[in-house]
Copies of this chain bind each other. A is one copy, B any other.
Amino acid sequence: MKNVLRRINTPSRVVVAAFLVVVVVGSTLLSLPVAVEAGQRASWTSALFTATSAVCVTGLAVQDTATHWTLFGELVILALMQIGGFGIMTLASILALVVSGKLGLRARLNAQAETRTLGPGEVRRLIAGVAKVTLAAEALTTAVLAARFFLGYGEPPGRALYQGLFHAVSSFTNAGFALWPDSMMRFVHDPWICLPLVVSVVVGGLGFPVYTALRRGPFHPGRWSLHARVTVGMTAVLLFGGTLAVLLTEWDNPGTFGPLPPGQRIMAALFHSAMTRSGGMNSVDVSQMHENTWLISDVLMFVGAGSASTGGGIKVTTFALLGYVILAELRGEPDVTVGRRRLPEQLQRQALTIALLSVASVVAGTFVLMMLTPFKLDQVLFEVVSAFGTVGLSTGITGDVGTAGHLALTVLMFVGRLGPATLGAALALHVQTRRFRYPEEGPLVG
């Protein structure tokens, strides 16, 4: 194990250290009296939890954002979301650059064990690229939302702009914080609010390598990298598959979709499907959903969004890759091929490792939280997957899991945010050269 820790070195360690620093600074700012509204009880655990939740763009909240925190506190949260979202997209992209040599991702893993050094120009271009996309997307969403708050809800221009900006950042970074105690439930009927948020969350969740690939011709998938094709395809499958599944399980639930006309049920289902991976806002009451909808959500939250994106989870490519392996195996094909490309064996093992260690983290987290709280498996599992997948949806128990429970969730959010990406890079960067091979022999399986 020492060997493993030693090898998760320079690039991955820098990422972890950077996030830790921001969490510490954010917690300190949020524990200042000026951050907390008069009459509200300040506590270091809620400051730590909220700062971690914002930096990890998770969005789980122990306090109602609007009533607990002052405008200063809200601005700190806004800044932390922006830094966290921008940070993970940039740092994960740099890790990918280090790993693959170029962002097109061709030839990834060909140079076994050789780490390319990145030129400062390359990193600067990448940071500028992420900044450009982030600002453009957030500006557009801010404009649409602010216009709607101003025209449709009669908010004063300054307030409308602030609300638009806050939720534009919160959605593009996939953070999911909201300035209303019921998240987006009051806007469940309003496509001018719901749809921009869905688009912003989905775009933020595609990831920087996809934007780069799309520039080669947004409507010519043949020109994209394999990574972009798999990410976009799988995102569409999960988004619309999830919408359909949620529609079926919630259709006539009086606590959620029941009171809505059919068109709005479809919009609410799309909203929930998009937000499980890993936007984290809700336009209906999650605590009133059918247990099966929770189960569907657990799966979607665990899979998450795209690599080097603001979203979390094991990533859609990891999930898709395991599916391709199974398909090849069922077909009896010796190679795993996707779109006329052969997936390296090493990459298959990486995907397996990331997925199974993530399962282990979720099981361990569930175990710990069940020890610490009186809640049942359904709610605890949902909360743990939501924290690990940096989603931020909750069946309503976040505030009631106690101090130890909050610390457990804090750790889960941090591990879930940085684990898959840094583990993936660490695994890819450190493949030892083969000195000799043992003879082949395998046990029976199945």
Which chain B residue has the least Cβ–Cβ distance from A360? B326
A 108-139 to B, binary, CB cutoff 8 A, 1 in contact else 0: 11101100000000000000000000000000
Q: Is A53 an interface residue (CB 8 A)?
A: no
Q: Is A318 an interface residue (CB 8 A)?
A: yes
For chain A, residues 283 to 316, give those with C-beta under 8 angstroms from any C-beta of chain B.
Answer: 291-292, 294-296, 299, 307-308, 314-315
Q: Is A4 an interface residue (CB 8 A)?
A: yes
Q: Which residues of B contact A340 (CB under 8 A)?
A: 438
Q: Which residues of B contact A107 (CB under 8 A)?
A: 440-441
Given A349-B348, A431-B334, A437-B342, A230 and B292 touching (CB < 8 A)?
no
For chain A, residues 244 to 298, give those with C-beta under 8 angstroms from any C-beta of chain B.
Answer: 291-292, 294-296
Q: How far does the alpha carbon of A328 sit from the alpha carbon of B3 in the complex, in Å? A: 12
Which chain B residue has the least Cβ–Cβ distance from A112? B334
**Stretch in A30-38, A189-197, A350-358 touching the partner:** A350-358
Given A330-B427, A334-B432, A371-B292, A105 and B442 touching (CB < 8 A)?
yes
Assess whether A332 is in contact with B432, with CB atoms less than 8 Å apart.
yes
A residues neighboring B (CB under 8 Å): 3-4, 7, 96, 99-100, 105-110, 112-113, 209, 225-227, 230-231, 291-292, 294-296, 299, 307-308, 314-315, 317-318, 320-322, 325-326, 328-337, 340-354, 356-357, 363, 366-367, 370-371, 376-378, 381, 420-421, 423-425, 427, 430-434, 437-446
Could you tell me the distance in whole angstroms from the C-beta of A297 to the nearest C-beta in chain B?
A: 12
| Ranked 8 nearest A-B pairs via Cβ | A424-B446, A420-B446, A227-B443, A307-B444, A377-B378, A341-B441, A347-B442, A317-B443
Q: How far does the alpha carbon of A433 sit from the alpha carbon of B332 in the complex, in Å? A: 9
Q: Which residues of B contact A344 (CB under 8 A)?
A: 440, 442
Q: Which residues of B contact A4 (CB under 8 A)?
A: 330-331
Could you tell me the distance in whole angstroms from the C-beta of A384 to the nearest C-beta in chain B?
A: 12
Q: Which residues of B contact A299 (CB under 8 A)?
A: 363
> Of A227, A296, A315, A438, which is in contact with the most chain B CB atoms at under 10 Å from its CB?
A438
